[in-house]
Structure 1
Amino acid sequence: MIVAGVGCRRETSADEIERVVRLALGLYDLPVERLSVLATESEKATEPAFPEAARRLSVTLVACTSVELDKVAGRVLTPSKLVLKAKGLPSIAEASALVVAGRDGRLLGARVASERATCAIAIGEGH
């Protein structure tokens, strides 16, 4: 399973989310057709851009709770001071990807950023 974990500012567009996911996949020479899941924090998942981006990418959208994200906090590669201050978590993008990738999931690398969003790619067996 290949998971794209995404974090973003409020009211980020589906275009921006799709762009950062494609950018991250491109770093690892992964075609978008191999992507299984778009993952984010549960509050972000309620914003209209996330279901739209998932539809465009032809993947399932999975919302991760803050409890789930906190459980993988020690495994993120690039903690964000901004996210820590706002959510009390070190990461949304990397942590979401790790949660959905499952117990043996791993990040392919650090998150990548666009102007308003970040994306991390993880692989695993799923949760």
Structure 2
Amino acid sequence: MKQLALRIAGFGFRREATVGSLGQALDQLVEHYGAIDKLAAARSMLPLVEKLGQLRHIEVIAVSDAELTKVTTLTHSTQSMQARGTGSVAEAVALLAAGHNAKLVGSRIISADRQATAALALAEGNR
């Protein structure tokens, strides 16, 4: 079977974010890059992303909050660095969920209400 890249969307967001905020960010990713195979979030941020996954019928992957600081991201947000120890939670989560040799397709996108970010990583795997 041919190996195809799995498309994993990682999320970061503020406490004020809603499922609508995340959904709007996801819609932007889909518009720019096409279908998404899985969603991902840090464990401490999981419930809201799980809600989105249920609404969109997309599997959700949880990653360790402690691992976020070990990931090099394209974006270097001062606020994200202070809050979570990484330049972009969305980018770090996407890369962690996508696994070894994952690649970001670009820097994070920001929801229209500026409450959520999303990033897309590609991972090798069977679809």
Task: Give the TM-score, by structure 1 length.
Answer: 0.84
CA apart distance, 1:6: 0.6
Greater strand content: 2
Runs of 4+ that moved beyond 4 A: none
Any stretches of 5+ residues in structure 2 without a counterpart?
1-5
CA apart distance, 1:11: 3.7
Q: Percent identity?
A: 31
Question: Which residue of structure 1 aligns with residue 75 of structure 2?
Answer: 78
> Aligned with 2:124: secondary structure?
coil
For residues 69 and 81 of structure 2, the distance between their equivalents in structure 1, rounded to whole angstroms, comes to: 11
Aligned length: 118
Q: Report the aligned-residue RMSD.
A: 1.5
Question: Which residue of structure 2 aligns with residue 37 of structure 1?
Answer: 38
Question: Which residue of structure 1 aligns with residue 26 of structure 2?
Answer: 21
Which protein has the larger Cα radius of gyration, Structure 1 or Structure 2? 2
For residues 68 and 82 of structure 2, the distance between their equivalents in structure 1, rounded to whole angstroms, comes to: 15
Question: Which residue of structure 2 aligns with residue 9 of structure 1?
Answer: 14
Any stretches of 5+ residues in structure 1 without a counterpart?
none
